[in-house]
Structure 1
Amino acid sequence: MNADTRALLSEAFAIIDGIPDDAIRFGAPRSIKGPTLDDGTVCSPEGWLAQHPRFIERGLRLTEDGSAILYRGEGSASVPAALPMARALGLPLDEARRLFGQREEFTANPDNPLTDKQLWEQRVREVLGKAHSPRAEVQELAETGSLDPHFGHDVPL
């Protein structure tokens, strides 16, 4: 994995890490639309990333109805989210499928006590490598101003 992809994936981890567990659910990019991003909205990890300014700059977008992720205007609900995410993050498609899929793709045990957010973060750690700590990069990103600390707060949908 090249350094740019590693940095983007660490930034994605930092963004998702700052979102409450109950606002993340595998499946549709956006499964519940609340009045604002931080008031009742529930999205998959890729759905949240497609609404973040940093990833919008990279060409990701969530469709108006929340059913699909677009990359540079291309995509549809029939295109798995892994494809636009692979393109935006510079990941091989098989790695993107490991990160941006249904709960069953993350664990063979459907009764796993981990939340969808915890499972996604576990998978990111595996993709980045066991020695890598995305949380350490979160601190660096926050210190350099690369993260928007106000993402999702009181943004009307």
Structure 2
Amino acid sequence: MLQPPPSLNLPPFDSRMMAEGAVQMIFDVFRKKYVALTPEEWVRQHFAHYLVNHLHYPKAWLKIECALAVNGQKKRADIVAFGKDTQPFLVVECKSYEVKLSERTFQQSALYNHTLQAPYLAITNGLRHYCCRIDQQQQRFEFQSRLPTYG
């Protein structure tokens, strides 16, 4: 029997869920497959749908669990939104709704962005969200009161 995940501080979206044995699964429309419904995945799915449905990011220009190399190690950024110039525009680090966001969470996102060079970073646990704009030339960032809309 499927247990409904908790409500988040993000708009709801139409989701397809199923059970595969004892594992709850959710259909990821971005990766076009069912994935295990972990607390972090619930946040990732909500946030990706929020970007598309409310901030007008093109679905085709979002990459979920985007593979990248950081200091010679294989890593995955939770969500990378690409701009019209096909360059990374926004990097999002998602954590479980049970995890408190911290400076360490932000540093993880910033480390991934060292490779990607996106002008915006966001972190979320589905309950709280933070976004900053990166000034690469000045090597500084400024927190934003909201996420950038697409375009």
Instruction: Please say whether Structure 1 and Structure 2 have the same fold, judged by a TM-score greater than 0.5.
Output: no
Structure showing the higher helix proportion among its residues: 1
Higher-Rg member (1/2): 2
Relative contact order, higher structure (CA 8 A, sep 6+): 1
Provide TM-score, normalisation by structure 2.
Answer: 0.27
Provide TM-score, normalisation by structure 1.
Answer: 0.26
